[in-house]
Chains A and B, each alone.
Chain A
Amino acid sequence: MNVILLLHITVLFVFPPFLLGFIGKTKAFFAGRIGPPLLQPYFDLYKLMRKASVYSLTANWIFKAAPMVSTAAILAAGILMPIASLKPPVQFWGDIILFVYLFAFARFVIVLAALDTGSSFEGMGASREATFGCLSEITLFLNLTILALLSRSLSLSGIFPGGLSSSWSLVGPVLILVVVSLFLILLVENSRIPIDDPDTHLELTMIHEVMVLDHSGVDLAYIFYGKAVKLFIFGSMVVSLIFTFKTHNLWIDTFFFILEMIGLAVLIGIVESTMARLRLNKVPYLLFSALMFSIIGFIIILARTI
């Protein structure tokens, strides 16, 4: 039991920046460059941690506390989420609701900090983020509801490791809908192309980046790390749905899980390199489509059980 706990926490805390490195490498490959080394995110974190933070005059304690609080919330959500066949440290009936709300809380805190700076740029980013958050949260909830209905359990650890491995042959099409919808939500929540460009320098086209424009030093390190963990958690949801093969040996399963996550990172890199960013007023339509996918899946499940 203790080994499981330790392994889970280690993977959760240590692995996520590696994913970002893989995405960067994939994009560089598509661009014909060699790109930054795979461990670059770790170096970035280290560099940021050693710098001092600069605070503007209008910022108060909210601005200073926000990065830590949001990262803590995201890590707390990570503790609820099973990894491969590792049971999460904390699990209880109904933890999917807490899961979604932890992410919402993290977003809320960052938005508050962005508004706290008093600059209109951050305010613009905050409003965009809040808008897209409305639609993506509904979709996320609906997807989790579908999965809960399918596996008859309201706990994340009931849904992800065990309950669904036999479902592919029975309800395959619905699961495809859920997976596609979750993948789109992943792109939205983690500010990936086609919704938002994480590398852009033009503030007018940013959504997430512009919110955190004012953070620096350790705060920026926290936010950067939190982003990586959030990507990891969403990715693990998608990956656990697609690959349901289990060998019941902890180490082998975890190893395969890490490989699958790297595969997902490569996929995200491919999506980012081959698509262009959507115009801002078209992003709601993408979110609507994700919502429609999950609604259709939900209706099919309802129609079958009734």
Chain B
Amino acid sequence: MSKIEIRGIYKIFGRHEKACLEAVQGGMSKDELLGKNGHTLGLRDISLSIEAGSIYVIMGLSGSGKSTLIRHFNRLIEPTAGQILVDGQDVMALGPRELEQFRQRTMSMVFQRFGLFPHRNVLDNAAYGLQVQGMPKAEREAKARHWLEQVGLTGFEKQYPRQLSGGMQQRVGLARALATDADILLMDEAFSALDPLIRREMQDQLLALQAKLNKTIVFITHDLDEALRLGNRIAILKDGELVQEGAPEDILLNPANDYVQAFLQDVNRGKVLTASHALSERKALTLTTRTAPARALERLQERAFDYAPVLDGRNLRGVLTQSAAQRALAAGGRDISAYLDDVASVPASTGLDEVLGQLLREPQPVAVTGDDGEFVGWLSRKKVVQLVSPALDSAA
């Protein structure tokens, strides 16, 4: 079951939002609504389903409704119509007290402009959520210290937010959000106000923390590079409507329309796409170091392959060519382990621009390996070229 489920969310800004709802549901456009009724359409029929433990990125240009949407999750903004379910619980049905409880325990939030309390020091800022919950001072300060340490701010407890740089302020914001132990983290353009180097650093830190904590993160950004780097899934909004939703590579490889295409134009594909996207579709024949030469040769000839990867357990050991197999057979060896050739390999997470360099230097086939060195598949030269330069491909 998905962690967060929203269904048919509409948001109209104005005095008579309910009255305009029907017209909008009937298909009235954003401009028409503004011209005729003086109301602004914030969101139109948004439905999303967010899996537990994933980073879900909502992306769009400014004015696309992404910040409005994220504020619906904890009802900082009330929808005009629609349903919000968290862990199967209907958030719209919560009374004021229950909603406060829900915000204290279930979701915490990080803001674009940090939203730190200028009159509280770093420690008190980080402990704010716990203080609101009514946790005793000693306990909440210990917890806040722990999370400040996690984000690398030990020693800054007594400083005030204005004394810190932007990056450090946002670390305080992150510590404050993590300190409440909420399952869900809402991040509203959390890194957009930071300069590129710091942003990168914060992204890395978030990914490292996420690997440990396994939270459900909803991340808003206007930066596609950031979206592709962080997101397990990405939703793209335009003028309050959902344009496309899917895994990062789906969006990159099959943009739904020109708007998404335009978004993708400036993306450095070589950095975003990795070796795992360019695997050869050919079903690989794998041998093990214990395979007998005769059996290995038979299987190679069966499929008319010149070579096959040889594994030791799950790890790649090398490659066996047909000629080596014949030599092994002639020498009467018990297995093929002594007749292997070295093979070039790249980790699956390597960016394609790096892979491309390696392909140019290496005429031999290149294997792709997983995190623990296990064999994943062969790299397809054709695919690498296609992915890195789709324009070239379509021109050809």
* A and B pair up: no
Chain B residues with CB under 8 Å of chain A are: none
